[in-house]
C-alpha cells in the first residue's frame, strides 16, 4: 500500500463559480472525495495548505510547500500538489531547486475546468497524479493531460485547452494510459532529498520589445540582485540606446545579468550574432541556453539566497539541476537521466 499526501493550494481544480468569477473554495479532502474512490493500492491523505488562485502564488508560498513536503517526507511514499495552472510551471521549477534529488515522486497537477462541472479535466488529472506519485518515478514532475513532464522543463502553452502544458527542449518523462504509468525517462535521484529553505526574490525580468528604452533596464538594475533579459531569437541586445553600457556598468559592480530568449524552443546562442557576441566575450553575462524562463527565475532566486559572489553564482547557474539545462551546453558533467 502506497501512502500519498495530497497538498491543496487552490487553483481552478478547487474552484467554484461565484458572482465574481471562479474562486478556489474546495478543500483537498473534497477533491479526493470527488474522485469516487482512489486507486487500489493507494492510500491518500489530504492537507489544505493554501486556497489561492495561482496568480496570487508568491515565492513565500513555494517555501511553504517545500516545508510541508519536508515535514511529512518520512511518512509518505509520494506527494501530489494541486495548484492553479497559470503559475504551475514556476512552482514546479522552484520545488525542483528547493527539494533536490528526491527519491520519492513529487507531482504537481491542476485543471483547466473545475471539479464541479461536467466537462472537467480535474478528475483525470488528479487520478493520474496520484498514480504517478505511487510509482517509482522520482523527483519533481507535472502530470497533466495524461503526460508526465519534468518540473524544470514544463511551460503552460495553452490558456484554455486541456493539453495546456508542454515540455520545452526535453522529452516527456512518460505518459499515463488506461490507469497505468508508462515511464520513458527516469530522473536521477539521491538516497535522500536535499532541502533548501531560502529564496532571494529580488530577481527581475525584462522582456525586450522593439524600441524599448535603456532607462527601463536601468530601473530594474537599481532595484534587483539579478536581472533576466528575455531577448529576441538566439539572443542579443539593441546596439543603439546605450544598452551595452548599462549592462557593462551592472557587471562591473559584480552583479548578475542573464540573457535568455523569448522563443520557446531550441534556446539561445549568444555567439551567433554581433548583438550577442560582445555580451558574452566582453561582459561575461550568463546565458540561459535551453532553460525555460520559469526555471531561470527560480534557479536565480535559489542561488542568490546562498551566495552573491559572482564566480560562485556563475558556477551554480551552469551546474545542471534536475536536467534544467543540457550539460553539453553548460560545459559540465551534468546530473544525467536514465531510460527505463
User: What is the average per-residue pLDDT within 110-115?
Assistant: 94
Residue 106, pLDDT above cutoff 70: yes
Do 191 and 215 reside in the same domain of the chain?
no
Mean pLDDT of 101-105: 98
Q: Residue 38 has what pLDDT?
A: 72
* Residue 12 bears catalytic tag: yes
118 domain residue, yes or no: yes
Percentage of the chain with pLDDT > 90? 82
CB 130 within 8 A of CB 44: yes
Q: Which three cell numbers stand for residue 236?
A: 542579443
Q: Are residues 59 and 134 in the same domain?
A: yes
**Domain identity same for 176 and 242:** no
Q: How far is CA 29 from the centre of its chain?
A: 25
Average model confidence (pLDDT) across the chain = 93
Q: 0.85 cut: is pTM over it?
A: yes
Residue 245 and residue 161 share a domain: no
Q: Are residues 138 and 18 in the same domain?
A: yes
Contact 194, 101 (CB under 8 A): yes
d(CA 234, CA 142): 27
Question: Domain of 260?
Answer: 203-330
Q: Confirm whether 150 is domain-assigned.
A: yes
Amino acid 213: pLDDT: 94
Residue 31 placed within a domain: yes
Looking at the structure, do residues 73 and 191 belong to the same domain, yes or no? yes
The residue written with cell numbers 531547486 in the block is: 97
Q: How much is the pLDDT for 335?
A: 41
Residue 254: inside a domain:
yes
The answer to whether residue 246 sits within a structural domain is yes
Q: Is residue 335 part of a domain?
A: no
For the cut 50, the answer to whether the pLDDT of residue 191 exceeds it is yes
* Whether residues 156 and 61 fall in one domain: yes
Q: d(Cα 258, Cα 260) in Å, to the nearest integer? A: 6
Q: What is the mean pLDDT of residues 296-301?
A: 98
Give the model's confidence band at 339: pLDDT under 50 very low, under 70 low, under 90 confident, else very high: low
Instruction: Return the top range by mean pLDDT from 20-34, 162-176, 242-256.
Output: 162-176
Residues 35 and 165 placed together within one structural domain of the fold: yes
Distance of CA 224 to the CA centre of its chain: 21
- CA 338-182-146 angle, 5° bins: 115
Distance, in Å, from the CA atom of 98 to the CA atom of 196, rounded to the nearest integer, reads 5
Are 182 and 297 in a shared domain?
Answer: no
Segment 255-262 shows an average pLDDT of 96
Same domain, 66 and 191: yes
Cβ-based neighbours of 216, under 8 Å, separated by 6 or more: 206
Catalytic residue among 12, 109, 152, 319: 12
Rg of the chain over all Cα atoms, to the nearest angstrom = 20
Mean pLDDT across 218-236: 96
Confidence band for 258, pLDDT divided at 50, 70 and 90: very high
**pLDDT(45) > 90:** yes
Task: Please say which residue of 177, 195, 213 terminates a domain.
Answer: 195
As a three-state string, the secondary structure of 15-60 is: EEEECCEEEECCCHHHHHHCCCCCCCCEEEEEEEEEEECHHHCCHH
Based on the structure, what is the number of domains in the chain?
2
Domain CATH number, residue 75? 3.40.50.1170
Angstrom distance (rounded) from CA 290 to CA 261: 9
Instruction: Please indicate, yes or no, whether residues 179 and 57 belong to a single structural domain of this protein.
Output: yes
The C-alpha cell at 64 is: 511553504
Q: Is the pLDDT of residue 332 over 80?
A: no
When pLDDT is cut at 50, 70 and 90, the band that residue 327 belongs to is: low
pLDDT of 333 > 80? The answer is no
Residue 337 resides in a domain: no
Tens digits of residue pLDDT in 1-33: 999 999 999 999 998 878 778 888 889 999 998
Asked if residue 282 and residue 246 are part of one domain, the reply reads: yes
Amino acid at each position: 500500500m502506497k501512502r500519498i499526501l495530497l497538498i491543496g493550494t487552490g487553483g481552478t481544480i478547487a474552484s467554484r463559480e461565484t458572482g465574481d468569477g471562479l474562486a478556489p473554495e474546495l478543500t483537498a479532502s473534497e477533491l479526493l472525495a470527488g474522485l469516487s474512490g482512489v486507486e487500489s493500492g493507494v492510500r491518500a491523505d489530504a492537507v489544505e495548505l493554501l486556497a489561492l488562485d495561482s496568480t496570487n502564488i508568491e515565492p513565500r508560498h513555494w517555501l511553504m510547500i517545500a516545508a510541508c513536503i519536508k515535514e511529512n517526507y518520512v511518512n509518505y511514499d509520494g506527494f501530489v500538489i494541486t495548484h492553479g495552472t497559470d503559475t504551475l510551471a514556476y512552482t514546479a521549477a522552484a520545488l525542483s531547486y528547493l527539494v533536490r534529488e528526491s527519491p520519492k515522486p513529487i507531482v504537481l497537477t491542476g485543471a483547466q475546468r473545475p471539479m464541479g462541472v461536467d466537462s472537467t479535466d480535474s478528475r483525470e488529472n488528479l487520478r493520474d497524479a496520484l498514480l504517478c506519485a505511487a510509482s517509482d518515478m522520482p523527483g519533481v514532475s507535472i502530470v497533466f493531460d495524461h503526460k508526465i513532464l519534468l518540473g524544470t522543463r514544463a511551460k503552460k502553452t495553452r490558456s484554455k485547452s486541456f493539453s495546456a502544458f508542454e515540455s520545452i527542449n526535453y522529452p516527456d518523462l512518460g505518459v499515463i494510459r488506461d490507469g497505468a504509468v508508462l515511464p520513458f525517462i527516469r530522473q536521477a535521484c539521491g538516497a535522500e532529498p536535499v532541502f533548501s529553505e531560502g529564496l532571494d526574490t529580488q530577481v527581475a525580468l525584462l522582456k525586450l520589445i522593439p524600441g524599448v528604452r535603456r532607462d527601463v533596464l536601468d530601473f530594474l538594475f537599481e532595484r534587483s540582485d539579478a536581472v533576466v533579459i528575455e531577448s529576441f531569437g538566439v539572443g542579443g541586445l539593441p546596439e543603439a540606446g546605450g544598452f551595452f553600457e548599462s549592462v557593462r556598468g551592472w557587471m562591473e559592480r559584480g552583479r548578475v545579468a542573464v540573457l535568455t530568449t523569448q522563443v520557446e524552443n531550441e534556446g539561445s546562442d549568444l555567439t551567433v550574432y554581433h548583438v550577442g557576441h560582445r555580451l558574452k566575450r566582453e561582459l561575461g553575462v550568463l546565458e540561459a541556453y535551453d532553460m525555460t524562463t520559469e526555471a531561470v527565475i527560480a534557479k536565480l532566486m535559489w542561488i542568490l539566497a546562498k551566495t552573491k559572489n559572482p564566480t560562485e553564482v556563475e558556477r551554480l547557474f551552469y551546474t545542471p539541476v534536475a536536467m534544467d539545462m543540457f550539460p553539453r551546453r553548460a560545459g559540465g558533467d551534468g546530473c544525467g537521466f536514465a531510460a527505463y
